[in-house]
Amino acid sequence: VSGLPASIGSALLRARRRPPFILCYHGVGTPADGADPHGLFVSREQFAQHLDTILAEGYTLLTVSDLWSRIAAGETVSGLGAVSFDDAFEQTDREAMPELAARGLPSTVYVATGLLGGPHPHMPGERIMTAQEVRELAATGVEIGAHSVDHAHLSQLGEAAALGQLRSSREVLEELLGQPVRSMAYPFGDYDAETVRSARAAGYETACACAGAGPWEALALPREPVFPSVTTLRLQIKLAGLYGHVHRVAELRGRLRRR
Ligand SMILES: [Zn+2]
């Protein structure tokens, strides 16, 4: 964390507990046109470093659904975490999955079913996985979850249309995979109380938000977004559930300096 003295950072790390976490990645690899205005991609090298950090810290990774099952059962979940990917970029398949497989690590990929095989809506140079690629990924043990039909702002659609997106994306994936789809992620992390009701009505056990640490609610699971700016130290702080605190400390120091 820039501007934060190393002594404070290491004190926070020493004081850390080991709450469960879900990391939210988008693309892994190098964007085809070299442009990534939204910071959606981390390099394969950086992703591999993140995995090695997670393992070196002694965490065990599960799929999102398996992590939630342990939390819901009241089991001890200290030291457990999950890695998730939104949007099912073809590059994520090619660049992230071999790094996970080499370490024997599970993950969860969230797929917008209406975009399969086509360009990403915000990075048209990048392709979304095809139905066949998603099926092959699921066969390797990767959990597949839904991400609406066309990557919609679900809270802005109206209840009937949002429910339609939630139901349809689940049905399409279950048909494609021949197995239950238990989890989804809200596109843009956009949801409200009505969206949560719709996600429940559509039959999901879990739905992921994007925001950082928060209460563990099944249909608004907190995730830590990971951008290219997430260094190893920042990742360690995120894993420790302390990122919000560090930001508040940094803000406070800034305010004090300006006085
Ligand atoms: Zn998305």
Give me ligand 1 centre to Cα 86, in Å: 5
The closest of 173, 161, 165 to 135, measured between CA atoms, is 173
Q: Please report which confidence band the pLDDT of residue 39 belongs to, taking 50, 70 and 90 as the band edges.
A: confident
Ligand 1 geometric centre to CA of 200 (Å): 20
Q: Which residues of 29-47 are buried (b: 16+ CB within 10 A; e: fewer)?
A: bebeeeebeeebbbebebb
Calculate how far, in angstroms, residue 112's C-alpha sits from the geometric centre of ligand 1.
Answer: 8
> What is the structure's pLDDT at 229?
82
d(CA 217, CA 214): 8
Q: What is the mean pLDDT of residues 17-44?
A: 89
Distance 6 CA to ligand 1 centre (A): 34
pLDDT digits (tens, 9 = 90+) for 190-243: 999 999 999 999 999 999 998 766 788 999 999 988 988 877 778 887 777 665
For residue 5, what are the CA distances in angstroms to 175, 231, 253?
52, 15, 11
pLDDT of 151-178, one tens digit each?
999 999 999 999 999 999 999 999 999 9
pTM of the model: 0.87
Q: How far is the CA of 257 from the centre of ligand 1 (A)?
A: 38
Q: How far is CA 229 from CA 1, 42, 76, 147, 244, in A?
A: 10, 9, 31, 25, 16
For residue 214, CA distances in Å to 20, 28, 76 come to 11, 26, 18
Using the mean position of ligand 1's atoms as its centre, give its distance from the Cα of residue 151 in Å.
Answer: 6
CA of 25 to the centre of ligand 1 (A): 10
89-121 confidence digits (pLDDT tens): 999 999 999 999 999 999 999 999 999 999 999
